[in-house]
Chain A
Amino acid sequence: MHYLPNIVFVIALIIGIGYFAKNVKKLVRNIKLGHDVDVSDNTSQRWKNMAMIALGQTKMMHRPISGFLHIVVYVGFVIINIEVLEIIIDGIFGTHRIFSAIGKPYGVLIGAFEILALLVFASVIIFWIRRNVIKLKRFWKSEMTTWPKSDANIILYFEMVLMTLFLVMNATDVHFQDMNSGNVISQFIAPWFGSLSESTLHVIERTAWWLHILGILAFLNYLYFSKHLHILLAFPNTYYGSLKPQGQFNNLEAVTKEVRLMMDPNVDPFAVPAEGSETNVPAKFGASDVQDLNWVQLLNAYTCTECGRCTSECPANQTGKKLSPRKIMMDTRDRLEEVGKNIDLNKGIFKDDGKQLLDNYITREELWACTSCNACVEACPVSINPLSIIMDMRRYLVMEQSAAPAELNNMMNNIENNGAPWPYNQMDRLNWKNE
């Protein structure tokens, strides 16, 4: 019976981490539904981007208030989690504050954790106020339906509770308070429990301890279902983010092959292609569903933290059009999840569900409203590129469905026939010289 808590703890740990691992596997599988894209170039620049943008949070500081608060929560969260290591060891071996054996530095460490916990708590409160009381516009756009709004708040409550539990756990730890080193904040909380007997305090301390670790495990498992996944995926996402100038859109290789064939007088159009030479040609041009996107775009979708910085900078959205780059990312993730569930239900094989990303999630009206200005790409603090998805879907509409707006078809006909988007004769191109 003596080992019961240890056993319960280990079981909780295994379930918590096991379920998380299972979801990570699913996540990786879903991302791999996208087709391949070469991101093996320039690894040193990629590491640098990850260090600067994800670790260093440089882009967050473009909005100084939320940027600063976010850094507090981020640093606090990462550092306080060192404490989790101690909790796990204590839990498994039935020890108590095993790291306190290191003496004085332990007090310094816990003292730092306590200060950070308080700062995190305060920042989270401000975040909550910005969302729910001040109602910042970007948190109340139309794609922020009930679930995305609750999701954001749930995370804030989670962090408030975890920080509170951490401080209460320290405040009610008689032994720790007696040490009187590191209890920078909790010494002021301890008096609130002053009238209680030592054994009651012990019960409260144990309860807080258990709830704290169980809360962390729950939080870990909540990530997969939440926009909060960015705390993990921001790192790979900034690593794999594009290194090219933002204005450079990829040239579709499959199209290049066809264009070369058409333009090359030496190619026999009736020749049978060599065996296996066409294997890399995608079945269709552009994207109408998530499987037509590449895996970096799908990683983007899971990384999106729904902060709406992209949407608030988008000229189309600012002028009342339906387009919202954040919605493009949210839709992509939702559809990808739907496809993933479909695969789970059908023993690993996707069964056509009569739906797709185009029309069922993202409408044509949204796609055609984009000016390709890159404001969204520039604004995103974690290197997401909503524009690339918009472009791939336009490509599908134009090349697979010939479904461009009529005016654009006119423009393209002009280019094809006159070499200019307007109906002028190519032979008149130099007339300006003499006008």
Chain B
Amino acid sequence: MSELLNVPTMAEFMAQGKQPEVLFWVGCAGSFDDRAKKITKAFVKLLNKAKVEFAVLGTEESCTGDPAKRAGNEFLFQMQAVTNIEVLNAYEIKKIVTACPHCFNTIKNEYPGLGGNYEVMHHTQFLKALLDEGRLTIEGGQFKGKRITFHDPCYLGRANNVYEAPRNLIRKLEAELVEMKNCKRTGLCCGAGGAQMFKEAEKGNKEVNIERTEQALEVKPEIIAAGCPFCNTMMTDGVKSKDKEGDVAIMDIAELIANAQDL
């Protein structure tokens, strides 16, 4: 099936003297993490289906520097940022889409000050735009009538005020969208942000992802929808530790839409 994926690189576009419509910034998780790679592929399938001329940087992509910056290493962050911006500007990139809210936030908000000015979209916003332009259709398929709750990624929601795009997409699946007691601007973190993903938590009486998973399970969903590879990991671990992995699936919005159409 993977042969069906059409994933051109910027270098290939350049060689043909062409510019893609949008650059897909895959991100570290999307490139290397086994779970997140599935999200990447689901999103690519949708891009292919909608006939979007996109490109990836491939081996020319490097970490945005987000985890370094949130850990306090501004120096490493800026080194990464400046290197990435050089590549992006050399390719004259105007528009970027990414399935990672951390990459999204960093490139959109923190790169301009260092010379990187692009229109940056989260993949849920991009998919919503494709839908509005009639380039993509969404059908409920296997998700019709399913109870789905959406976990707001901090760096998409509070950090950038994107609450509706992912929810609109879920509604399009004709699914039943249920909200957790903490959602949107009061959404509870999954516990991964601020470089926590890469370290043990400080001493406490609970893990943050367990707290959040409990909130999700309270509304008895069949699916917990996520929009961030890190949230996805945290919630998957949470559901596993509650022995609920048989009952509740954690899926990215892109996967929901792609699977609904059996892509």
Contact = CB atoms under 8 A, between A and B. Distances in A.
Interface stretch (B15-23, B89-97, B188-196, B248-256): B188-196
Nearest to A374: B158
B80 A426 contact: no
B32 A399 contact: no
Contacts, number: 218
A432 B71 contact: no
A319 B206 contact: yes
B76 A416 contact: yes
B193 A372 contact: yes
A187 to B, nearest CB: 46
Interface stretch (B105-113, B135-143, B164-172): B105-113
B74 interface: yes
B204 A321 contact: yes
Contact of B59 (A251, A322, A370, A430): A430
B72 interface: yes
Interface residues of A, number: 70
Contacts of A378: 158, 185-186
B192 A251 contact: no
Interface in A57-94: none
A372 B73 contact: no
Contact of A319 (B33, B159, B194, B208): B208
Interface in B180-229: 185-186, 188-189, 191-208, 210-212
B158 A420 contact: no
Interface residues of B, number: 72
B131 interface: no
A322 B202 CA distance: 8
B32 A433 contact: no
A369 B207 CA distance: 11
A316 B208 contact: yes
Contact of B193 (A259, A323, A371, A410): A371
A429 B73 contact: no
5 contacts: A315-B211, A319-B201, A320-B205, A419-B63, A422-B28
Interface of A: 244-249, 251-252, 255-256, 258-260, 262-263, 285-286, 313, 315-316, 318-323, 365, 368-375, 377-379, 391, 393-399, 404-405, 407-408, 410-412, 415-416, 419-422, 424, 426-435
- The 6 residue pairs across chains A and B that have the minimum distance between CB atoms: A247-B159, A394-B72, A372-B194, A320-B205, A419-B62, A320-B204
